[in-house]
Amino acid sequence: MACLCSLGVRAATANHSFFGLKSQQVAATVARLSSMDAPDGASVSEPYLDPMLWRQLRGVLQFLQSNKYPHVPNPPPCKKRASVALIVRFRPLTPDSVTYDSNLCGATAATSEQRLENFFNQQWVQQGEPEILFIKRATRTGDRWTGQIAFPGGGREPNDGDDCATGIRETREEIGLDLNADHCMLVGNLPEQVVTTWWSKVPYA
């Protein structure tokens, strides 16, 4: 899942630390996202050549918003699923330059497409610095994921309604950020993949 946070992340836990990638690394991530194969039947425009990073990022997020990647079912007999959240935020040049307008970007303001457009039309966003959130998992003896750098996320639980719900719950548990908050915007889903890890022959979907 991909999520846009219009306000700064101000949460932390004892189990994980987290940090943001700066503009240069975000540009590389945008290039990688823009090179992904499009879902069947989708046409890819070329918004990624714009020298302004915020415009490139807007183009990628608009594409993800308009073109849902297909669901990949679990291969038999695998029952495991996991989700991560790719979280983008914009850091303003000065904290006092931000005026969050829920009428423009709030959950009840307009359609999801218009919310995204309204967000990027704000001057503080166009002049701000985009960041992508990663976590560094806690170091624990015997933990297969010890010390890993990753997006927040984890395995799906029985009470999770879908893969998106898993990403939202795991993000809240790991870093205390509620992606259902009014200042967070769910943009779309990333391509689903079947993954086989080196410690197991059973794949994760």
Local confidence pLDDT in tens for the 205 residues of the chain: 555 554 333 333 334 444 444 455 555 565 555 555 555 555 444 433 445 788 888 888 898 888 888 988 988 888 889 999 999 888 888 877 777 777 888 877 778 899 999 999 988 888 888 888 888 888 888 877 788 888 899 999 999 999 999 999 999 999 999 999 888 888 888 888 887 665 555 555 5
Domain ranges across the chain? 2-188
Q: In the prediction, which pLDDT does 34 show?
A: 55
Which contacts qualify for 177-182: CB closer than 8 Å, 24 or more apart?
177/5, 177/9, 177/11, 177/87, 177/152, 179/3, 179/5, 179/85, 179/87, 182/102, 182/106, 182/107
Q: In the prediction, which pLDDT does 30 show?
A: 58
Q: Which residues contact 131 (CB under 8 A, 6 or more apart)?
A: 20, 21, 22, 26, 88, 89, 90, 91
Prediction pTM value: 0.75
Alpha carbon distance 135, 151 (integer Å): 6
Q: In the prediction, which pLDDT does 179 show?
A: 92
Q: In the prediction, which pLDDT does 171 show?
A: 93
